[in-house]
Amino acid sequence: MHITQLNRECLLHLFSFLDKNSRKSLAKTCHKLLEVFQDPLLWSLLNFHSPAELKKDNFLLGPALKYLSICWYSERVKVCNIEDWMKNNFQKDFCNRHENTVSDFLLEVCNRCPNLLSLTLSGCGHVTDDCILLLLKNCPNLKTLKLENCVRITDQTLEAVTLYGGSLQTLHVDFCRNITQAGLERVREKRPSVMLRAERSANMIPDNKPEKQLMLEKASRKLVQL
């Protein structure tokens, strides 16, 4: 029996076991398999493990997407988590090449995936508060938001959660160094039903520009002298 003789339900089931590249390769073999590849039911879950994967055409974004994970841990990508004012020219050049990769992708999700239920971001150093705010506004059914080592996330994201995270049940902001204890307490006060976790976040040293750091150092020296 040839694979194309299977009904659509069976083909969808078979495709579900394949990774994105394998699905795309199989879809190129005939029109019937291409139609299966383009079926929204096949794309309710997406996982990405490198910035380059977001730019490929081996997946579809649409209203069927419910679970999205964008996580990477390579040593090279950790450069993006360094404060901008501390980066050398090589590091800045590297970051510029994919600075907007995740943010642009998430904007597409905002526009095309209103039924998203779960979002996990890890190591995404260029994702901003504004991006998460738009996502909360455009994906009102979002129940789980997990952010890990997203260094540009601040208390503004926590404020957005209190305003627009009406469906949110789980919020993780682990190792987000610009989150404060006051911001976390506000979420607990305004959204007591949300399961909140912020491992290390409020205890980490936040980003400071050189002039601000100098002022802090001077203040510390004065205190010591007193």
pTM of the model: 0.81
Which residue from 51, 75, 58 is spatially nearest to 24, judged by alpha carbons?
A: 58
Give the mean pLDDT of 46-71: 92
Tens of pLDDT, residue by residue over 170-215, are: 999 999 989 999 999 999 999 999 999 999 887 766 766 555 444 4
pLDDT of residue 38: 95
CA 218 to mean position of chain CA atoms = 37
CATH number for the 1-42 domain, one of 1.10.10, 2.40.50, 1.20.1280, 3.40.50? 1.20.1280
CATH number for the 44-224 domain, one of 3.40.50, 1.10.10, 3.80.10, 1.10.238? 3.80.10
- Tell me the H-state helices in 85-209: 89-98, 101-112, 129-138, 155-164, 181-190
d(CA 147, CA 165): 15
Query: What is the overall mean pLDDT for the chain?
Result: 85
Which residue from 104, 90, 89, 93 is spatially nearest to 51, judged by alpha carbons?
A: 104
